[in-house]
Amino acid sequence: MRTLAFWFGIACALLCGLVDPVWGYAAVFVLAAVQLSMLGARGDSVFLLIHYTVLLIYFSLAPAMQIAADVDFWQVGILGTAAHTQALMLLLLYMAGVEAARLGMSERPAVHGGGPYTAARGVAHPFLLLLSCSLAAFATLFIRPELNFVARGVVSEEASLPIDYIVFSTIPKLVVLMCFVALAIHAARRRTLWAWCAAGLALALAAIAANPVNTARQVILIGLLPLLIHAIGRRHRWTLAAIVFGAIAGLGPVLNLISRDAMWGASLEAFPFSQDFDAMFVIAGLLERAPSPEPGFGRYLLSAASFFLPRDLKMFPEFDPLGWSAVAANFSQTNLSLPPFATAYFDFGLLGPVLLGFAVSAGFRIVDRVVNPQRTLTASYLCALVLLAAYVPFMRGPILGWGPFAASGLIAALVAGGLSSWFRRRTHRAMRPLTDPSPRQSQEPSSRPAHTGIPTA
């Protein structure tokens, strides 16, 4: 039923968009809201839940209001209806690819229990390890404290600045946050005073490490959203969708007002005309103002994915759509964000957004199977939570910090997950010789008839 409703809705959105892009985006809003209402049962895809929440935030009402009000971002001027319609078509193709990858799947896959949680034993406990790691990561932030106050888009002559920024700023922040996530999950399972105190101290460190505000949203999304997915993603689906929507659509512009206006002197309008929601405007602007590029066959996507590397290490810098001369000539800000499905269009034409949506959705089918709140806290489980959370800024456009923060989040998840499960694995190895190595043999006497002493032939 949900699949049938989607394909009917995508056809309606296509027809409405051909009449007027405003109505097309309004249809996308209705389609996403209906899909969210059908994803309310336990066992539904967490990825689809976040996917349609992101569509509601960035790709439905905001562009519809912008087009209807003739909003002008980055001194580009008023864009034509044809450009907005073409941008909408790319979005619909991506949405179709996402759902095509799920054809034939069970609507509500079974949620297998991970068994009872077994706490680690021994003198050195994961609580102590995670807390020590959190303190060490927090101390790392003070090795190069000036990096925590680098504004996004500020160009520096220092060649190693991007790498130093990741090593001494983003990774430590995400390590502190992921250690808090692991400690909070441990505390919810153990329910001891020491567990809650350790989680509280890690939360205090994480709150301090997340400052200043210019990186707070990325830190919150990839650092704290995994905890929300773990806590309520399988049960209270609408609560998770509402929190994600409110955090970005409501809290995002407020944080921008503080970080950009108060700290850097830049003015920012309120939602829905905030530059935070200009993704489809940028796509339409590039389609209208930039010349049609040659097919990149994946090189545009590779170039966009490697944007956070130093210029000398960037893959295919000549295939960066935001580096075209037409962009510099038409946009007042070159540090723009381009959603990946638009970059895939430059690579493979109209087939690009469909292929990207299919690949992303197929990959998250595996992630959905890993995300089970009853499982033991491992590195693979935490990485799955981070990947789900990183999808939000990924859809918005990787130029806004998705690359370094997602990579740092995955590294932090590996560290926290490894510390959480290391002693559990050691305990199981130590206990293995104590158990009966051949339980099958111990059951054999009961399954065979008893010997009566009668001689056999």
Token pair in block for residue 392: 């939000």
- pTM of the entire predicted model: 0.80
Coil vs helix vs strand at 374: coil
Q: Which residue has the higher pLDDT, 328 or 435?
A: 328
CB 34 within 8 A of CB 80: no
Which pLDDT score, from 0 to 100, does residue 355 have? 93
Q: For the segment 56-65, what is each residue's pLDDT rounded down to a tens digit?
A: 888 988 888 8
Q: Is the peptide bond before 212 cis (omega within 30 degrees of 0)?
A: yes
Model pLDDT, residue 269: 59
* CA distances from residue 265 to 69, 332, 413 in whole angstroms, order as listed: 26, 16, 35
Percent of the chain surpassing pLDDT 90: 14
Say which amino acid occupies 54.
V
Question: What per-residue confidence (pLDDT) applies to 107?
Answer: 54
Confidence band, pLDDT 50/70/90 cuts, at residue 150: low
Please enumerate in sequence order all residues whose Cβ is within 8 A of that of 194, keeping only pairs 6 or more positions apart, or say none: 127
Q: How far is CA 347 from CA 73, 99, 193, in A?
A: 26, 21, 55
Cβ neighbours of residue 438 under 8 Å, at least 6 residues apart?
none
Measured between alpha carbons, how far is 320 from 306 in angstroms, rounded to an integer? 10
Interval 423-449: pLDDT, tens? 555 544 554 554 444 444 444 444 444
Instruction: Tell me how far apart the alpha carbons of residues 229 and 223 are, in angstroms, rounded to a whole number.
Output: 11
pLDDT digits (tens, 9 = 90+) for 93-126: 999 999 998 887 665 554 444 444 444 443 347 7
143: part of which helix (H) or strand (E)? none
Q: Give rounded-to-5 percent helix, strand, coil for the chain.
A: 70, 0, 30
Comparison of pLDDT for 455 and 382, the residue scoring more: 382
- Other Cβ atoms closer than 10 A to 281: 24
Tokens 């970005």 found at: 248
Q: Beta-carbon neighbour count of residue 107 at 10 Å?
A: 14
Q: What is the pLDDT of residue 152?
A: 52
- Residue by residue, DSSP assigns 291-318 as PPPPP-TTHHHHHHHTTTS-GGG-S-GG
Distance CA 292, CA 159 (A): 32
CA–CA gap between residue 301 and residue 295 (Å, rounded): 11
Check if the beta carbon of residue 274 is closer than 8 Å to that of residue 255: no
Asked whether the beta carbons of 237 and 52 are under 8 A apart, the reply is no
Instruction: Answer yes or no: is pLDDT of 453 > 50.
Output: no
Q: At what angle do helices 279-289 and 61-68 cross, to 10 degrees?
A: 50
Say how many C-beta atoms besides its own lie within 10 A of residue 287's C-beta: 21
pLDDT digits (tens, 9 = 90+) for 212-256: 555 556 677 777 888 888 877 666 677 777 878 877 777 666 666
| Residue 402 confidence class, pLDDT cut points 50, 70, 90 | low
Instruction: Output b/e per residue, 361-394; b: 16+ Cβ within 10 A.
Output: beebeebbebbbbebbbbbebbbbbbbbbbbbbb
Q: Which residues, including other chains, have CB under 8 Å from residue 282's CB and lie 6 or more apart?
A: 73, 331, 336, 337, 338, 397
Half-sphere exposure of 349 (CA within 13 A, CB side): 3
Q: Are 386 and 410 in contact (CB under 8 A)?
A: yes
